[in-house]
Amino acid sequence: MKKTAVVLPMVSLRTTPNSVMETQERIVDILKKNSLSVTDSRKKILRYFLESDGALAHADIEHQSGTEFDRVTIYRTLQTFVDKGIIHTIPTADNAVRYALCKDDCYAGHHHDDHVHFMCDQCGTTYCLDHITVPGISLPAGFKAQQTDLVVSGICSKCNN
Amino acid sequence: MKKTAVVLPMVSLRTTPNSVMETQERIVDILKKNSLSVTDSRKKILRYFLESDGALAHADIEHQSGTEFDRVTIYRTLQTFVDKGIIHTIPTADNAVRYALCKDDCYAGHHHDDHVHFMCDQCGTTYCLDHITVPGISLPAGFKAQQTDLVVSGICSKCNN
DNA sequence: AATATTTTGCAACATTGTTGCATTGCATTA
DNA sequence: TAATGCAATGCAACAATGTTGCAAAATATT
Ligand SMILES: [Mn+2]
Ligand SMILES: [Mn+2]
Ligand SMILES: [Zn+2]
Ligand SMILES: [Zn+2]
């Protein structure tokens, strides 16, 4: 139950109006819009997310980056991105938390990741099904829902042949 | 997969027909019905689940049991129970997998835990909402669902005053 | 009771995550 | 652009979690 609640004004994340930005520019853009100083580690880690179609676990980033930066830096960077609403976590039952980019309407302290996630049992890829929203669940009396996480597992379209 | 066909409707693991069994008897009963040898560790760990109203994490069991048995034994026992369909895992976003008793229609290799789970943000208790089933989710073309995990978090009825 | 089979404890190791602190790098202002 | 203040990083040390092989102990079977 450790939750850093930094409240900042709502800012948009992934897209910038009126231009097709280069990835590198978009990366810097996202960091600056979230009042984060632009460092090598943050740029690299954010790039991994932008260039990946699936979610990433800490270990994925650690393996991809090799010795480029410290493990601790990855942990701290991921936490910072979550706090700012740049990425969100995806619950799993396999002790490997995954992270994925948030959509525009997420901001510091307030995530809007009410979409369905899909984990492929075969290739292991975790997808954000951004356009499939989580249905409302009617709970027993006295229970108050704060957030709903829905993860479907099975075979993804790439593996399904 | 030899499952003894229980005729009575919806018999749960916690009760046995035609008698009010002592907990100890019920524990031995469950183990034997799953072709598991009856050992001290298994009896104790199963008892924790029977006497708990919420789900348990590995650490919960480790702390409760003290030095009674080895950590490794707990890991192996939990895995055995999952394999046999006695307990099921509950996915979380905090890297602390929890386990809860399965209902009767779970057996080795085939879980039927298609019910909603609830995690209280305040007291940390994880509930199985056995009577609330997970709604079907229509996926994009090519995706095939195998299992759906739905976890609601918020405030539970005990904490909600 | 003797034997065959499983389970357990232990040790050793691997992976994952956290914290404090000195050093480095970034951003701001002069 | 250079100086300065603050934030981020690397490193070390540690804690927590999870895995494996193997000998000893417990359980089930005969
Ligand atoms: Mn997502
Ligand atoms: Mn359950
Ligand atoms: Zn796949
Ligand atoms: Zn509660």
Contact criterion met (CB below 8 Å) for A101 and A111: no
CB contact under 8 A, A140 and B149: no
Quick one: which of B8, B50, B3 has its CA closest to B28? B50
Contact criterion met (CB below 8 Å) for A64 and A45: no
Report the separation in Å between the CA atom of B41 and the middle of ligand 4, taken as the mean of its atom positions. 29
Q: What is the mean pLDDT of residues A156-160?
A: 94
Tell me the CA–C1' distance in angstroms for A95 and D19: 14
Q: What is the mean pLDDT of residues B65-74?
A: 95
Go through the domains of chain B in sequence order and give each one's CATH number. Answer: 5-160 (1.10.10.10)
CB pairs under 8 A between A and B: 128
Return the pLDDT at A102.
Answer: 86
Which range is least confidently modeled, A68-82, A104-118, B87-101?
A104-118
Average pLDDT, chain A: 85
Return the pLDDT at A108.
Answer: 67
The 3-state DSSP class for residue A65 equals helix
What's the CA gap between B85 and A71, in Å, rounded? 37
Return the pLDDT at A106.
Answer: 63
Pick the ligand that lies closest to the CA of residue B128. 2
User: Please, is B50 exposed, middle or buried when counting C-beta atoms within 10 Å of its C-beta (0-12, 13-18, 19+)?
Assistant: middle
The reply to whether the predicted model has a pTM over 0.85 is: no
Task: List beta partners, residue B115.
Answer: B133
pLDDT in tens, B75-115: 999 999 999 999 999 988 787 889 999 876 666 666 677 89
Return the pLDDT at A4.
Answer: 35
Q: What is the mean pLDDT of residues B111-125?
A: 87
Return the pLDDT at B114.
Answer: 86
Tell me the CA–C1' distance in angstroms for B72 and C11: 12
Q: What is the mean pLDDT of residues B27-33?
A: 96
Quick one: which of A135, A161, A136, A93 has its CA closest to B111? A93
Where residue B7 falls among pLDDT bands split at 50, 70, 90?
very low
Instruction: Give percent above pLDDT 70 in chain A.
Output: 82
Instruction: Give percent above pLDDT 90 in chain B.
Output: 67
pLDDT at position A10 over 50? no
CB contact under 8 A, B118 and A139: yes
Q: What is the mean pLDDT of residues A24-53?
A: 96
Average pLDDT, chain B: 85
